[in-house]
Structure 1
């Protein structure tokens, strides 16, 4: 899927349009800091929801950080760091989406390590994890919350 650049550019959300969104919470402390000028707790628009194909990922630059955003077959949204911790390559968004024992996963396209989409943990090496971000669907768009 090739994303339209006009729909993937990160923008600081207008507080008036995101008043109904809950404050973003960090789920992991190893997350890189957001870009200067982007408020913690801000929501950034990634793309229109209908641009995400179920079972596929897209990469987005969110607050200066590469994030892989996924929409699964059951319409759930997940957002994790796009950098493969084993290779340093920005490839997680191109990984293979599936599940292991009922846990939604993405497998790195490089060495195939599987990561839980909900918690970022590597199922093959529990000492390694991807950063996890808080995605929301709001008014037909996908938003990512920053810590």
Structure 2
């Protein structure tokens, strides 16, 4: 008897709370330089990004200046070697590693740890 299996896939997970991991999507579905929104179990949203070097980041999707869930639609770039996303509404830039607003030192967004996991489908 022959068993057919598919090759392993890599899923992207993030940790909205210490000690818990949530599967977001297959890693290959992320387009470098663009973001996607992910709904978390507690109703919050995360903005997930992959840069052109293959690093992944996840921050809160809520723009703290407007309250809109739009950061996943922002423009990705870098300033002084730091990756950021610029809000599509008012253009404030948020560091993807720290969540710090590069345009207002008093404002931050949450940052979520991200990991890749291999999952074999049968």
Separation of aligned partners in 1, 2:53 and 2:114: 15
Residue 116 of structure 2 corresponds to residue 137 of structure 1: yes
Residue 103 of structure 2 corresponds to residue 106 of structure 1: no
Please point out which of 49, 58, 62 is paired with 2:36.
58
> 1:42 matched to which residue of 2?
20
Separation of aligned partners in 2, 1:107 and 1:87: 13
Provide Cα deviations, 1:98-123, integer angstroms capped at 9, x if missing partner: 00111000000001000100000000
Separation of aligned partners in 1, 2:49 and 2:26: 13
Separation of aligned partners in 2, 1:52 and 1:91: 17
> Secondary structure at the residue paired with 1:50?
helix
Structure 1 residue 42 displacement after superposition: 1.4
Aligned pair count reads 105
TM-score normalized with structure 2 length = 0.81
Provide Cα deviations, 1:6-33, integer angstroms capped at 9, x if missing partner: xxxxxxxxxxxxxxx9xx5x8xxxxxxx
Structure 1 residue 62 displacement after superposition: 1.5
Q: Unaligned regions of 5+ residues in structure 1, if any?
A: 1-20, 27-33, 35-39, 141-147
Please point out which of 95, 100, 103 is paired with 1:116.
95
TM-score normalized with structure 1 length = 0.68
Separation of aligned partners in 1, 2:20 and 2:26: 18
Greater gyration radius: 2
